[in-house]
Structure 1
Amino acid sequence: MDNWRKSSYSGPDDGNACVEIANSPTHTAVRDSKTPTTGTLTFPTPTFTTFLEALKKDQHPCP
């Protein structure tokens, strides 16, 4: 996969301190932007989508 992209929340100062993702028709890959050659995690796209939706639903301020 060579269409890696960072979150728009990365910011200019620590823009390399985040994860990057890349999509294919069937999978989503995740890697550390600070060390992109050390490895990736790859998930079936439906599984990764479900994970992101769960994160979005559970966004609330910490007590």
Structure 2
Amino acid sequence: MSDLNPFYCDGCPRCLHRDNPPTNGITAGGSLTAADRCGACRHIWTCTWAIVPGRVLPPPPAIR
């Protein structure tokens, strides 16, 4: 998605449901690799973003 959003939301590649916020993410070198889960069909995917000042970063993954 190329529209501006405060939470790095993404559209589902399977069912095209929009505005899925990442469940967690890892930042490195000015980029964010986020894990997303669709609120409609529960599909899981990753998305990489450039970090934008002012946007809310997702929490890091839980390590068990």
| Same-fold call, TM cutoff 0.5 | no
Bigger RCO of structures 1 and 2 (CA < 8 A, at least 6 apart) = 2
Quick check: which one's helix share is greater? Answer: 1
Question: Shorter-chain TM-score category?
Answer: under 0.3
Pair member with larger Rg: 1
Quick check: which one's strand share is greater? Answer: 2
